[in-house]
Structure formats: structure tokens, C-alpha cells
Amino acid sequence: MMEENRGIVVLHQDENYLVVNKPYDMVVNSNDASKVTLQTEIRRLFPHLVNPDLKHEFHFVHRLDYATSGVICVALCRNSARAASASFEKRCARKYYLALVHGHVEEDSLVVREAIGEDIRELLGNKRMCTSDQVHCQNPRDCVTAILVLEKGLRNGKPATKVLLRPGTGRRHQLRVHCSHIGHTIIGDYTYSNRQDHEPHRTFLHSFRLILESDLGHLDIQTSDPFDTSDDKNEWSPTEVLRRIDEDAFSAIDKLFP
């Protein structure tokens, strides 16, 4: 059963894990106690699950950017946190994202293999990342993202493409940087559009599905598609459907990895 509260949707709960659908424009946690975060909302919903020995009260075994919505897993004890962390480190965990990007992606699918490092320019006053082919890139690390085109159409009257993304690594801002690198910045991504993309109501990036294989069992959690045509705020009108979001699509993007 799913429980909704202030935009947080509980997707799964057992003795080891709590999996929720994080709203967009919400930080996971903060040292500012006055700020509303995913941590404070989970605490309010589940005060009995708080671990006072942890700085941020819960084991967040992976993270989502402030602007990114979707599936995020919280471990409820040290053992489950250890098991989940091992799954991510061994790349036994699979994460799939949905995004709307600017323009029409020509390829049906592609794999981006560009190392990502820190952008040392500090032009925007925040921690930007960049690909290693940029002269201002510092300490780049290997990085790979698979991209599968789902739909092409118009978003607010301009060409856009809905894509399924699967990161093969877990670098900071990886999906946003790789989409920008191929010339199809995620719609609403203010940072990687160089402060140009300020019209949309959100960044169109969503953590859609998480598969977690660990010593404690199997989790496979998926949300609904937040970028469908039922929400008028999306202003999204597909004109060509290449793939449905189904098991065939997940299988196709998995096959892009060696």
C-alpha cells in the first residue's frame, strides 16, 4: 500500500528498507535544521525509524540531486545499509531514469563514454561538473551512460525527446552532464544550460526504477511516468512513439552495456 504525504509517496517498506518517491526540488538532507528536506519529511512520517546516532538520522544508501524526483532507497539498519552499499559498489544495483531533453535525438539508442570531473571555473557559483574533453575539467573519472529514445515530440511547442537513461557509474550530475555533452540538455536544467533554461516549472529528470540485488533479497521498485500527457504542466505532446516503457525497453537498454 502506498501512503502519500506532502508530495512524498512511500513505494515500499519492510524491515530493511524504506523506498520513497522524492519530489523534485527537495534536497535529501541538510545541515540547516530549519530546511524542509527528505530527511525531515521521513522523520515526520516515521519518527520511530529515526537513528539518533546518525548525523542525518537515516542511512541514505544513494542520493538524488535537489532537482531530481523519483525512487530513492533508505536503509533502516546498519546491516541493510551495508548490504545495499555493497550492491551499488559491485554494480549489482540498476537504476533507470526518465528525462525530457531538448531537441530530437537522431539515434534510437547510444552509449556515452565520457569521463566526468569537476569544472574549476566556478562560473555559476556552484559545483558544476564537466566532461574530460574540456580544458577546465579537473580529476576526471571514467563514466558511462546508456540512452534509449522512447518518444519524440514537442514540449511547449519546441522539439523534445523523451529518453530512458541507465547510468553504468555513479558520478555527480552524470546524466545531466552526459545529456548536455551530446547536445541534448535536459529540459529545465538551469545549471547545464548556462542559466538559460528558466521557463519550465521543473527539471525533467526522474528516477523511474530501482533494482537492488543484495544479500538481504531482491527489490524492484518503479513509479508511474511523471512526464506523460496527463499533466498539463508538462506541456508535452509526443508525435512519434518509438518504444513503450515496458520490459522490452529495459531489456534493450541493458543490452547496450557490454
pLDDT at 3: 45
- What sign does the dihedral 257-66-36-23 (CA atoms) show? negative
Poorest-confidence range of 85-94, 134-143, 241-250? 85-94
Cell numbers at 94, concatenated: 540498476
Cα 131 from Cα 115, distance rounded (Å): 6
The confidence score (pLDDT) of residue 39 equals 94
Our answer to whether residue 65 is catalytic in this structure is yes
Task: Classify the phi-psi angles of 188: left when phi > 0, otherwise alpha if psi is within -120 to 50, otherwise beta.
Answer: left
Compute the C-alpha angle 191/193/197, nearest 5°. Answer: 95
Average pLDDT of the chain is 92
Question: Once rounded to an integer, what is the mean pLDDT over residues 108-115?
Answer: 97
Q: What is the mean pLDDT of residues 144-171?
A: 97
Give 68-99 pLDDT, tens digit per residue.
999 999 999 999 999 999 998 888 899 999 99
Q: Which of 38-47, 90-99, 154-163 has the highest mean pLDDT?
A: 154-163
Model confidence over 159-201: pLDDT tens digits? 999 999 999 998 999 999 999 999 999 999 999 998 889 899 9
pLDDT in the model for residue 92: 85
- Asked if 117 and 242 count as a contact pair (C-beta separation under 8 A), the reply is no
Q: Which of 25, 32, 53, 65 is catalytic?
A: 65
